[in-house]
Structure 1
Amino acid sequence: MKEIAPVTLELHGVRLEPLAPHHAEGLRAAATDGELWTLRVTSVPEPHEVDGYIFKAYEMRGSRLAFAVVDAATDTVIGTTSYHDIVPAIGRLEIGYTWYAKSRQRTHVNTTCKLLLLTHAFETLGAALVGLRTDNFNHASQAAIERLGAKKDGVLRHHAVRRDGTVRDTVMYSIAAGEWPEIKAQLLYRLARHGRS
């Protein structure tokens, strides 16, 4: 797998650009849209934590490449997503740290972001496998990952601490390179049905 370098990706009015300090105000607004930090099963920062959230993502470079999700028409930050747990030696990476402003959920945004990230991972970087993970109680996220066509690998029990101090089980999924053409076709079909061809 090629080395992962910062890149900007754009499709259907959604732009992914490397997350940077100048995105902080927009990320605060996106988190406030729905008070997403109050959701028990996500790791969305509170508005006063956003600068630290961006700094931590920057500190993790090498094993993580974080993106701001931007509405290209208005240059409005509407969320964030990342490549993470990058292991070039075996061609593996994961997509996660993903959240969007409540007003952008259940729109074409997530499908478009996943199409951009998966296309870049498999077709440019040469990934052998892309993983995704979520909280065992985040049923909406599990359903979204399963709609992508990812296969459920299993559950890591007692795996990570939640914001409220409880310990979550983590549900692991993956997409192998050989499965990508069919999954890509399905993502393109879904976007076309929503007028995003």
Structure 2
Amino acid sequence: MAPVTLRLNGIRLEPLTGAHETGLGEAASDGQLWDTCYTAIPRPEEAADYIRLALETPDRTAFAVIDEASGKVIGSTSYYNVLLPERRFEIGYTWYGQSHWRTAVNTTCKYLLLCHAFDTLGFQTAGWCTDILNKRSQRAIERLGAKKDGVIRGDRLRGDGSVRDSVVYSMIRSEWPQAKAALESKLGLA
């Protein structure tokens, strides 16, 4: 997917670049997020490596999440596993500083990404994949209107080297209008 800047409700998603290194490190420090075994959130001193890996991954379009009021980086999210012939993509590598949890930030970001992919680019299927231990992420994905497809056992290695099971979700184009209306209602756009 080509880089694009998306904005709504004081949140801006802009293509992740090296210029976001300091802000990304500060956002990760908001709650010492790197301490969770089931997410890939960088330590502040690893922000440059995180950005480099995001930019070098061929099927990933990474974004910095910006609070427009303060101009600060508050997290990151990505399109990844983009399959153009199948018109399928996944949303992931999503994290926000802890002070932005349980706010409208995640709903806003996912709404922007889904609108762009389904409404502008004409994609058919959105997917999500999260660690079976990450219950907070699973609840957030389900609140978007995604359907749980199942569990892939022994799917990946965690940062600590343990093997994780992954919970996978999807949303298809025909489900998007209903999910979109629900998200618009949650965001006060309806």
Give the TM-score category using the shorter length.
over 0.9
TM norm structure 2:
0.98
Q: Which of 164, 168, 175 is residue 171 of structure 2 equivalent to? A: 175
Query: What are the Cα deviations for residues 8-50 of structure 1, in whole angstroms up to 9, with x where unaligned?
Result: 0000000000000000000000000000000121110111111
One-letter amino acid matched to 1:41: Y
Residue number in structure 2 paired with 1:125: 121
Tell me the distance in 1 between the aligned counterparts of 2:34 and 2:23.
Answer: 15
Q: CA deviation at 1:95?
A: 0.3
Aligned length: 190
Which runs of 5 or more residues in structure 2 are unaligned? none
Residue number in structure 2 paired with 1:115: 111
Runs of 4+ in 1 over 3 A off after TM superposition: none
Tell me the distance in 1 between the aligned counterparts of 2:80 and 2:162.
Answer: 23
Q: CA deviation at 1:124?
A: 0.8
Which runs of 5 or more residues in structure 1 are unaligned? none
TM norm structure 1:
0.95
Tell me the distance in 2 between the aligned counterparts of 1:157 and 1:45.
Answer: 25
Is 1:54 the equivalent of 2:51? Answer: yes
Tell me the distance in 2 between the aligned counterparts of 1:191 and 1:24.
Answer: 29
Tell me the distance in 1 between the aligned counterparts of 2:134 and 2:120.
Answer: 31
One-letter amino acid matched to 1:46: R
Query: What are the Cα deviations for residues 125-149 of structure 1, in whole angstroms up to 9, with x where unaligned?
Result: 1110000110001001001111111
Query: What are the Cα deviations for residues 34-76 of structure 1, in whole angstroms up to 9, with x where unaligned?
Result: 0000012111011111100100011013x00000000012210
Tell me the distance in 1 between the aligned counterparts of 2:146 and 2:9.
Answer: 23
Q: CA deviation at 1:106?
A: 0.6
Tell me the distance in 2 between the aligned counterparts of 1:178 and 1:18.
Answer: 28
Tell me the distance in 1 between the aligned counterparts of 2:73 and 2:93.
Answer: 15
Q: Which of 186, 190, 195 is residue 186 of structure 2 equivalent to? A: 190
